């Protein structure tokens, strides 16, 4: 185990974290990015990106590689270590503990840890996770060539991934508990225009059933009529939201009803010196563009915060 000291610790290497690393390097800050896996975050779970300025169409994996390379060019230090806790110490600095046993010390932390998929919470879901239940179409879609699949949800992620899955599936059912999608109009248009997709409105999954090895059907209920039915599928993809990864922060902080950080206009949370950027922050939209915008603001504000801390330090006398 080792204690490592930095000016700035960035937790998470998605778009926000990699952008923060880039700007930290340009600001001549000694910074480290801690990430449990490969750099990229949710970019690695996204096939084509068509709404990032400068790229009419780019693979999520390619964009993540480009962002990481750009950050490394400016001296970013990327460390593979899952963060277990972020805690402010009595001296005002932060102690970040990694799964490796190493600890990291800095007066400023920028949390860009994103979120984790929301589970359905129905019987059969944990039993068949990885055996027909998935939360990532890009990761697992190719395993279901020729299958009939179900996608649960009605937002941008559900509609986009349903369209993507038609590359592999013979048919895709989109099951939504309401009678209208929340997704952006262009994504809805793709769903309605895809002959392989059928929408089941006002439907909820009550059980995921299988043969002991793989998913074979869903038990559904119509929330309006109460009618129950069964739907034969070879796999189910769940896209009903994300939970922000804010639980690693020890101590109370201001947050909204869903647990997302509430920040000021420079991305600082209610804990002085702790900034948040990207999907962990309460905001109207969660896009790559907003993530990198948050990160840019956070690093510039963090640099000023660090300068103010240094100015307040007593001058040694002889």
Q: Which positions are catalytic? A: 136, 139-140
User: By three-state DSSP, how is residue 237 classified?
Assistant: strand
Closest CA to 22 of 66, 59, 55, 62: 66
Q: How many other CB atoms are found less than 10 A from the CB of residue 182? A: 13
The structure tokens 């402010």 sit at: 88
Residues 114, 286: contact at Cβ < 8 Å?
no
Q: How many residues does the chain have?
A: 318
Query: Which residues is 274 bridged to in the sheet?
Result: 109
Residue 229, both tokens: 């039915």
Read off φ and ψ for residue 138, nearest 5 degrees: -65, -40
CB-based burial label for 158 (10 Å; 0-12, 13-18, 19+):
buried
Cβ-proximal residues to 13 (8 Å cutoff; 6+ apart), any chain: 21, 33, 34, 35, 39, 40, 41, 68, 78, 112
101: Cβ contacts below 8 Å, ≥ 6 apart: 1
SS3 30: coil
């Amino acid at each position: 185990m080792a204690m490592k000291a930095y000016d700035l610790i960035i937790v998470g290497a998605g778009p926000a974290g990699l952008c923060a690393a880039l700007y930290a390097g340009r600001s001549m800050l000694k910074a480290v990015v801690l990430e449990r896996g490969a750099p990229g975050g949710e970019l690695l779970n996204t096939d084509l990106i068509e709404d990032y300025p400068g790229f009419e169409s780019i693979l999520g994996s390619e964009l993540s590689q480009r962002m990481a390379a750009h950050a490394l060019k400016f001296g970013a230090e990327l460390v593979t270590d899952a963060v277990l806790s972020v805690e402010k110490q009595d001296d005002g600095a932060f102690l970040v503990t990694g799964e490796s046993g190493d600890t990291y010390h800095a007066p400023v932390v920028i949390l860009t840890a994103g979120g984790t998929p929301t589970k359905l919470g129905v019987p059969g879901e944990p039993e068949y996770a990885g055996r027909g239940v998935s939360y990532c179409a890009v990761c697992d879609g190719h395993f279901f060539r020729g299958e009939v699949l179900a996608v649960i949800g009605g937002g941008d992620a559900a509609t986009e991934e349903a369209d993507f899955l038609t590359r592999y599936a013979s048919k895709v059912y989109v099951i939504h508990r309401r009678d209208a999608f929340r997704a952006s109009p262009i994504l809805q248009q793709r769903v309605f225009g895809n002959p392989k997709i059928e929408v089941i409105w006002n439907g909820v999954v009550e059980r995921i059933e299988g043969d002991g090895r793989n998913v074979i059907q869903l038990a559904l209920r119509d929330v309006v009529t109460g009618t129950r039915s069964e739907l034969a599928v070879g796999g189910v993809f769940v896209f009903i939201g994300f939970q922000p990864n804010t639980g690693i922060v020890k101590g109370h902080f201001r947050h909204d009803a869903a647990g997302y950080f509430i920040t000021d206009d420079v991305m600082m949370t209610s804990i002085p010196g702790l900034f948040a950027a990207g999907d962990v922050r309460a905001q109207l939209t969660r896009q790559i563009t907003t993530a990198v915008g948050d990160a840019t603001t956070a690093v510039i504000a963090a640099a000023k915060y660090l300068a103010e801390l240094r100015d307040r330090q007593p001058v040694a006398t002889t």
